């Protein structure tokens, strides 16, 4: 990013933190150029950028001053310090509830393991066991087992993408792929662009890596706000983006191909890499799979992270990153963190992909999930208060439910937990503490009487908050 | 650590980097107290500490000045910036050689997989596969599978240590246990104490986490220099230590119980946690296992990291940390990095520990390794030049070989690689680039004609450097 942006960003930080107060005079272009050791034109560009955004004003013959009316930043992305990630305490209470509550299926980040071909997978694990018996080539490899990387490259090829296996690194689940990529491409204090709302583990990772971040709004219909992103890229020296382009977590929204292409081109223009979290890609309800942003990546700036945890084997902890030109750096980082993914799990999944009929299973899984989604939409219609609304996702196993005014999702989370029902309250999905009217529900579990009654209880609890209690949900602004 | 130490450390940094030049006057105690916003007595303590070490001098009625003769720091530990880790390029050439060379057994960090009970382990993996078929409880757990943690706690108990299973976290190999502990207990810029020489992956981890470090000398006979450590603890705000207390990598030296106890007490006095890398503990040649420093830990400040990679199943990537009071923080960090270790590997190892006869196998493995060590010592005696010396380790599978004067291990590494033989040159084991006369040899592989001839070639190449060529090695200062 350019020096003038850096300076503008630094000055904005001083204004935000009240170091530079309204009406204060900024150093003259000449002074600043001397004291920062940069050209006057660079200082001028920075001042001009700040003036354009109403942060400072120029007074003829007297210089630049901090504006007394700072612009309301409204929906525009705001720089946050991960250290200040607020709702993490709520996140811990959420994790606690997951442990304490008898009924966690609604809150779980996982689909029901019973949906997965565990028996068939066990056969593949047996074969893996036999193949490991021979004692050959038993040094752990940072890149991962070649047979598995070959299978993954083959699936890319079928999806119309050519990904060399030397760019594929097997990881301990997609979470390692994402966090290892993030750590490799940043240093502490760097700024990362994430979605708002976003997967809470991303917020924790940013905090752990001492990164700052900008939250880019995600609309439940349209997905990521590219204008806000473009604005953020102008305003901040963003080092890398971490986005979910399909079945976004938690909103479930998917970017259109056009928007994915526009996203890739926008980032390429700024030379900013994209860490693409695409762990739900196999769970599409349409006949055609969605295409990842990586598909439109001409500049090798997209690190595409995938996983088998959501669609095959959660406990095997096998994911990967197709890291493009960053692959050697990621492999070196892998070499000094976890060295290599567990071989039995890698070999078993490679065997399953080759002989197990993954695609046949996935077709069944998608139908199962669609049925379960319909069940939950029906239950919300039956039990939840009027004014409840949502946008039906085209895949995955989460619903992002907007509750009526007056319903506080954190309060609902607390009282539901008291009733032994765990749900995910909206604020854990953003560092801003927003989304207090939203909850995330998981419909990826076989529909049992227990779930039905949990939904009934939850609806009743939600209605208590609501003036128009007793009345059932009527979905506005949804495409159910 | 205390504020005066911090100030003294900061001032020393300025002197080391030439910001404060010899004869420069330091701010008066009163000035410094004002400008740093600390009490005059704190400033005085800092100045006094610097004066005691000869870094500054007090002149009556004129104040404190940077000493013109800076003391030679000699063996005393010196603060290093991981960013400046020099030999990493050599480390990469070493990794490259491992890939390119036909004969890598001498350089490998792994023992020969043929030594391991792969067949028996495969049976356990089969059982794990069957047990995973049921579909119960299939959500990944950050702490790891309880059955495995129970087995590990049992082994601690047999070794005379009571470790609650709630303090044991299963990791993707010990490397994750070590780096996760390091990351959880530090923030970028913190100072870590490591050994010199040390395991090269530790240097890479420090660099990746943007940590500074102090290298504490390790003597091949006596092990860690506790006086140097005590000195370093006085001089620097050390946040955490990362040490190998038994069969240290690469020297192979083991601290006596007394020294381990003294180490733990010294660190407890300074309230500094110890990350104890104990991955070779099962490979002891004596009848009795060595006791870890953790055994003497009354203040719950020791994070004991173990592994099954060196003594059972390298490719399974299963290690653990007994993290004491730090366990909840480590578990949370695990939750946002790799979430959980791979279940099939965990369940297989748990089954093997319960039914597989681990201890019987270990007794055989130790005998095998002792025999292989004897072979390699014999070969060094037969082929290496006079003046070659080493200290025979009481366990593990590495020899830390000191070559005669005039033999440069980096040069030897290069010419050996040209002959298709990979070895580990001394300088990759320290950020200082020292140990140019040392190489690390791995004797953990079945003794083959290929290894015999590689040793012969290596000895011949080493003799070329040496004036007294043609003459065979005679071990001085060794206890062979």
**Rounded distance, CA A6 to CA A12, Å?**
10
Instruction: Report the CATH number of the B3-75 domain.
Output: 1.10.10.10
Q: What residues does A320 pair with on adjacent strands? A: A170, A306
- Residue recorded with tokens 């020294």: B259
Contacts of A129 in chain B (CB under 8 A): 122-123, 125-126, 129, 348
Whether B208 sits inside 8 A of A125 (CB atoms) is no
Complete DSSP assignment for B106-130: TT-SS--GGGS-HHHHHHHHHHHHH
- From chain A, pick out residues whose CB is under 8 angstroms from the CB of B179: 336-337
Among A95, A140, A336, beta carbon nearest to B315 = A140
Average pLDDT of the segment spanning A439-459: 96
Q: Cβ contact (<8 Å) for B314 and A110?
A: no
Determine the distance in angstroms separating the CA of B104 from the nearest CA of chain A, rounded to an integer: 11
Which two structure tokens, joined as six digits, stand for B316?
């399974």
Cβ separation B140–A343 shorter than 8 A:
no
CB contact B99 to A (< 8 Å): no
Q: Between residues 327 and 346 of chain A, which touch chain B (CB distance below 8 Å)? A: 332-333, 335-345
Q: Cβ contacts of residue A371 below 8 Å, gap of 6+? A: none
| Residue B134 pLDDT | 67
Of B122, B138, B187, the CB nearest to A315: B138
Query: What is the enclosing helix (H) or strand (E) of B304?
Result: strand B302-307
> Rounded to whole angstroms, how far apart are CA atoms A325 and A329?
9
Give me the residues of A, 153-192, that contact B with CB < 8 A. Answer: 171-173, 175-176, 179, 183, 187-188
- Residue B87: predicted pLDDT: 43
Residues of B in contact with A118 (CB under 8 A): 132-135, 138
Strand, helix or coil for residue B377: helix
8 A C-beta contact, residue A177 and residue A171: yes
Q: How far is A256 from chain B (nearest CA, A)?
A: 29
Q: Do A287 and A394 form a contact (C-beta atoms < 8 A)?
A: no
Domain(s) of CATH 3.40.640.10: residues in chain A: 140-357
Residue B448 structure tokens: 């083959």
Distance CA B256, CA B254 (A): 6
Cβ(A220)–Cβ(A200) under 8 Å? no
Considering only the beta carbons, identify the residue of A110, A138, A172 that sits closest to B342.
A172
Of B129, B140, B183, nearest to A317 by CB-CB distance is: B140
Tokens 């369940």 correspond to: B347
- Return the pLDDT at B20: 72
Residues facing residue B441 across a β-bridge: B399
How many other CB atoms are found less than 10 A from the CB of residue B285? 15
ipTM for the complex shown? 0.79
| CA atoms within 13 A of residue B286's CA, in its CB half-sphere | 11
Long-range contacts of residues A424-429, Cβ cutoff 8 Å, at least 24 apart:
A424/A94, A424/A107, A424/A250, A425/A90, A425/A94, A426/A197, A427/A87, A427/A90, A428/A87, A428/A90, A428/A91, A428/A94, A428/A200, A429/A197, A429/A198, A429/A199, A429/A200, A429/A250
Query: What secondary structure does DSSP assign to A276-340, as a single string?
Result: EE-TTTT-BSSSSPPPPGGGG-SSS-EEEEEESTTTT-GGG--EEEE-GGGHHHHHHHHHTTT-S
Task: Give the whole-angstrom CA distance, residue B389 versus residue A129.
Answer: 43
DSSP state letters, A422-454: --EEGGGG-TT---TTEEEEE--S---HHHHHH
Name the minimum distance, in Å, from the CA of B66 to any CA of chain A. 28
Asked whether A462 and A388 are in contact (CB, 8 A), the reply is: yes
Contact assignment for B139 to A208 by CB distance below 8 Å: no
**Cα A387 from chain centroid (whole Å):** 27
Contacts (Cβ under 8 Å, ≥6 apart) of B332 = A92, A204, B142
Residues of chain B contacting residue A108, judged by C-beta atoms under 8 Å apart:
139
**Could you count the other beta carbons within 10 Å of the beta carbon of residue B147?**
16
| Residue B120 contacts A, CB cutoff 8 Å | no
Fold of B140-357: 3.40.640
Give residues 376 to 435 of A whose Cβ lies within 8 Å of B: none
Q: Is the pLDDT of residue A63 over 60?
A: yes
For the stretch A96-126, pLDDT in tens is 888 888 778 899 998 888 889 988 999 999 9
CA distance A235 to A55: 12
Q: Helix/strand/coil (H, E, C) string of A198-217?
A: CCHHHHHHHHHCCCEEEEEE
Q: How many angstroms away from the CA of A283 is the closest CA of chain B?
A: 19
Q: Tell whether A83 is within 8 A of chain B (Cβ).
A: no
The predicted pLDDT at position B219 comes to 94
Cis bond upstream, residue A297 (ω within 30)? no
Asked if A285 is an interface residue toward chain B (Cβ–Cβ < 8 A), one would say: no
Of B116, B210, B333, which is closest to A187 when you measure between CB atoms?
B210
Interface test with B, best of A119, A138, A206, A347 (most B CBs within 10 A): A138
Q: What angle do CA B415, B418, B424 make, to 5 degrees?
A: 60
Which residues on chain A are in Cβ contact (under 8 Å) with B316? 342-344
CB contact under 8 A, A205 and B176: no
Q: Phi and psi at residue A335, in whole multiples of 5°?
A: -60, -25
Q: Test B317 with A342 for CB contact under 8 angstroms.
A: yes
Contact residues, chain B, for A122 at CB < 8 Å: 129-130, 132-133
Task: Please check whether residue B349 touches A, CB under 8 A.
Answer: no
CB within 8 Å: A343 and B315: yes
Q: Which helix (H) or strand (E) holds A344?
A: helix A343-355
Which residue in the block uniquely carries the two structure tokens 């969605």?
A290
Q: Which residue carries 């980082």 as its tokens?
A: A333
Residues of B within 8 A of A321 (CB-CB) are none
A385 token code pair: 């208060």
pLDDT at A9: 77
Q: How far is A454 from chain B (nearest CA, A)?
A: 20
Taking an 8 Å cut-off on Cβ atoms, the answer to whether B315 and A133 are in contact is no
Indicate the SS3 state at residue A241. Answer: strand
What Rg, from alpha-carbon coordinates, does chain A have? Answer: 24
Q: Distance (Å, rounded) from C-alpha B53 to C-alpha A150?
A: 60
Do residues A294 and A276 lie in contact, with contact meaning Cβ atoms separated by under 8 Å?
Answer: yes
For B338, which of A139, A172, A336 is closest by C-beta distance?
A: A172
Ranges in chain A annotated CATH 1.10.10.10: 3-75
Q: CB of A88 within 8 Å of any CB in chain B?
A: no
Phi, psi of A371 (to 5 degrees): -60, -40
Which of A110, A176, A348 is the closest to B337 by Cβ? A176
Whether A462 and A384 have beta carbons less than 8 Å apart is answered as: yes
> CATH 3.90.1150.10: which residues of chain A?
79-114+361-479
pLDDT above 70 coverage of chain A, percent: 90
CATH of domain B79-114+361-479: 3.90.1150.10
Q: Helix (H, G, I), strand (E, B), or coil: what is residue B412? A: helix
Q: Which of chain A's residues have a Cβ under 8 Å away from the Cβ of B314?
A: 138-140
Residue B81 has a pLDDT of 52
Contacts of B138 in chain A (CB under 8 A): 110, 113, 118, 314-315
Average pLDDT, 10 consecutive residues per value, chain B (480 residues): 78 69 84 80 88 85 83 51 55 85 86 88 90 68 91 89 92 96 95 96 92 95 95 95 97 97 97 98 92 94 97 94 95 89 96 94 96 97 95 97 94 95 95 92 94 96 71 46
Contact A277, A174 (CB under 8 A): yes
For residue B35, count CB atoms less than 10 angstroms from its CB and return exposed for 0-12, middle for 13-18, buried for 19 or more: exposed
Among B219, B238, B217, B218, residue whose Cα is nearest residue B73: B217
Contact B344 A345 (CB under 8 A): yes
Percent of chain A with pLDDT over 90: 62
Residue contacts between A and B (CB atoms, under 8 Å)? 190
Contact status, residue B235 vs residue B229, Cβ threshold 8 Å: no
Select from B311, B414, B320 the least CA-distant residue to B368: B311
In order of A1, A10, A14, A36, B153, the CA distances from A24 in angstroms are 28, 16, 12, 19, 63
What's the first-to-final CA gap in chain A, in angstroms?
43
Both tokens of residue B148? 């495995």
Residue A208: its chain B contacts at CB < 8 A? 183, 333, 336-337
Structure tokens at B348: 């297989």
In 10 A of CB A419, how many CB atoms? 15
- How far, in Å, CA of B442 to CA of B439, rounded? 10
Q: How near does any CA of chain B get to the CA of A122, in Å?
A: 5
C-alpha B362: how far from chain center: 23
What is the least distance, in Å, from the CA of A97 to any CA of chain B? 15
A96: closest CA of chain B, how far (Å): 12
Contact check, Cβ <8 Å, A129/B129: yes
Compute the distance between CA of residue A471 and CA of residue A382 in angstroms, rounded to an integer. Answer: 10
Contact A293, A301 (CB under 8 A): no
| Residue, of B320 and A31, whose pLDDT is higher | B320
What pLDDT was estimated at residue A477?
Answer: 40
Q: Which residues contact B112 (CB under 8 A, 6 or more apart)?
A: B105, B444, B445, B446
Task: Please answer yes or no on whether B110 and A139 come within 8 Å at the CB atom.
Answer: yes
Q: Taking 70 as the threshold, does the pLDDT of residue A208 lie above it?
A: yes
Judge: B317–A333 Cβ closer than 8 Å, yes or no: no
DSSP output for B433-480: ---TTEEEEE--S---HHHHHHHHHHHHHHHHH-TTTTPBP---S---
Find chain A residues with C-beta within 8 A of B309's C-beta: 140
A336 with B204: Cβ contact below 8 A: yes
């Amino acid at each position: 990013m350019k020096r003038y942006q850096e300076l503008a960003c630094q000055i904005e930080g001083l204004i935000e933190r009240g170091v530079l107060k309204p009406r204060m005079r900024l150093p003259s272009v000449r002074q600043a150029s001397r004291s920062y050791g940069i050209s006057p034109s660079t200082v001028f560009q920075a001042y001009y950028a700040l003036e354009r955004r109403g942060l400072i004003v120029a007074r003829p013959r007297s210089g630049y001053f901090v504006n007394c009316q700072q612009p309301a930043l409204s929906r525009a992305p705001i720089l946050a310090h991960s250290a200040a990630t607020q709702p993490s305490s709520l996140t811990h209470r959420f994790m606690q509830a997951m442990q304490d509550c008898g009924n966690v299926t609604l809150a779980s980040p996982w689909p029901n393991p019973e949906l997965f071909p565990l028996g068939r997978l066990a056969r593949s694990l047996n074969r893996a066991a036999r193949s490991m018996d021979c004692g050959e080539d038993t040094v752990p490899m940072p890149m991962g087992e070649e047979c598995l990387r070959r299978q993954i490259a083959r699936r890319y090829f079928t999806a119309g993408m050519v990904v060399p296996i030397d760019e594929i690194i097997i990881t301990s689940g997609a979470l390692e792929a994402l966090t290892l990529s993030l750590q490799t491409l940043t240093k502490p204090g760097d700024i990362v662009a994430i979605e708002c709302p976003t997967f809470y583990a991303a917020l924790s990772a940013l905090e752990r890596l001492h990164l700052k971040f900008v939250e880019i709004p995600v609309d439940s219909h349209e997905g990521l706000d590219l204008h806000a992103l473009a604005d953020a890229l102008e305003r901040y020296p963003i080092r890398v983006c971490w986005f979910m382009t399909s079945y976004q977590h938690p909103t479930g929204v998917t970017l259109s191909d056009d928007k994915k292409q526009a996203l890739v081109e926008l980032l390429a223009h700024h030379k900013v890499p994209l860490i693409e979290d695409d762990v739900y890609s196999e769970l599409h309800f349409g006949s055609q799979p969605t295409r990842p942003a990586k598909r439109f990546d001409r500049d090798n700036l997209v690190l595409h992270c995938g996983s088998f945890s959501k669609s095959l084997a959660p406990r095997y902890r096998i994911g990967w990153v197709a890291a493009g030109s960053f692959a050697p750096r990621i492999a070196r980082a892998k070499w000094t963190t976890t060295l290599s993914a567990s071989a039995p799990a890698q070999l078993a999944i490679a065997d399953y992909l080759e002989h197990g009929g993954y695609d046949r299973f996935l077709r069944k899984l998608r139908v199962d999930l669609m049925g379960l989604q319909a069940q939950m939409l029906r239950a919300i219609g039956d039990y939840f208060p009027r004014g409840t609304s949502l946008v039906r996702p085209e895949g995955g196993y989460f619903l992002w439910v907007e509750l009526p005014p007056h319903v506080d999702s954190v309060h609902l989370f607390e009282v539901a937990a008291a009733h032994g029902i765990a749900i995910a309250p909206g604020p854990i999905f953003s560092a801003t503490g927003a989304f207090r009217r939203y909850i995330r529900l998981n419909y990826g579990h076989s529909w049992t009487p227990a779930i039905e009654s949990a939904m009934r209880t939850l609806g009743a609890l939600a209605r208590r908050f609501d003036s128009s209690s007793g009345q059932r949900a009527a979905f506005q602004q949804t495409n159910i």
